[in-house]
Copies of this chain bind each other. A is one copy, B any other.
């Protein structure tokens, strides 16, 4: 067996008893890396490390979720290159992680988490067929996960872990708490950490490092997006605890990363467009959170998906912005 370390991962060749499992592992780690658009298994390893520094169980869930999503798609006969680049892994990874964070773990919860991760691949396929020119982003993750959480209100053996918001009618907000320098520093890094539901500076730093390995520009844009989201939320009077926990950062980070580094051609207007998108994301995040309040559901990355789809869909109407 000849192991070959390439710039974006491992190639274990096609000989030897370990080739298949090693290639599969590389594949799953690319799937984890694709959560932030990186077809890079080193990035995947560092993402898993960033989760493992809080919980080994959740780190395992991420890898197994990517596995469930990838294997179901492979069995049904999805395209090789999509499988290989982790496109059927990242939604499953997030689904399994979210289910095990927000529901009380048990054998049945694990089974549901992996079944849901597999179903995310069906959704991914449906979006690939339905809108071939618009990326699916994390929409399959959001839809599948909300479906499982909502089902817990009717299925007695799915028990919320206490992290889901309480169902309540939306009320008028007041400015809550005082934003200090600590809030800002915390917020910028947890804003990256919350992409994987990690309310921790340590995870945020490891995730930034993971992006750095693959693309320094991606790391810069993720931090810029997180900071911009935080500043807009602060200016508009969002609650301090939410800002500190990065709740207004992660969607903006993903929007900035997706538009400026992945889907738009580099140009001054393109950057301005991406920053406008990242700048209005906190409004959409606040609105989505309020809209889901009567159901007691978290917004997950729904604001990111909505804003990114909107700006990508609109781009062809404008001559100054070009989609790659």
Question: Which A283-301 residues have C-beta < 8 A from chain B?
Answer: 283-284, 286-291, 293-296
Listed stretches A53-61, A205-213, A222-230, A310-318; interface member: A310-318
Having A77-B319, A156-B173, one finds 14 other A-B pairs with CB under 8 Å, namely A75-B320, A129-B316, A147-B287, A150-B291, A154-B289, A155-B173, A155-B238, A156-B174, A156-B238, A157-B236, A158-B173, A158-B237, A290-B295, A291-B295
Residues of B with C-beta under 8 A to A238: 154-156
Residue from the set A75, A172, A239 with the largest chain B CB neighbour count within 10 Å: A172
A18 close to chain B: CB less than 8 A: no
A171 close to chain B: CB less than 8 A: yes
Residues of B with C-beta under 8 A to A128: 317
Are the C-beta atoms of B152 and A115 separated by less than 8 Å?
Answer: no
Q: How large is the interface on A (under 10, 10 to 19, 20 to 34, 35 or more residues)?
A: 35 or more
A20 close to chain B: CB less than 8 A: no
Bound CA span A314–B280, Å: 32
Neighbour of A154 across the interface among B75, B147, B158, B239, CB < 8 A: B239
Q: Scoring A residues 271 to 291 as 1 if CB is less than 8 Å from chain B, else 0, what string do you get? A: 001000000101110111111
A321 close to chain B: CB less than 8 A: yes
Residues of B with C-beta under 8 A to A10: none
A3 close to chain B: CB less than 8 A: no
A135 to chain B, nearest CB (A): 15
Are the C-beta atoms of A76 and B283 separated by less than 8 Å?
Answer: no
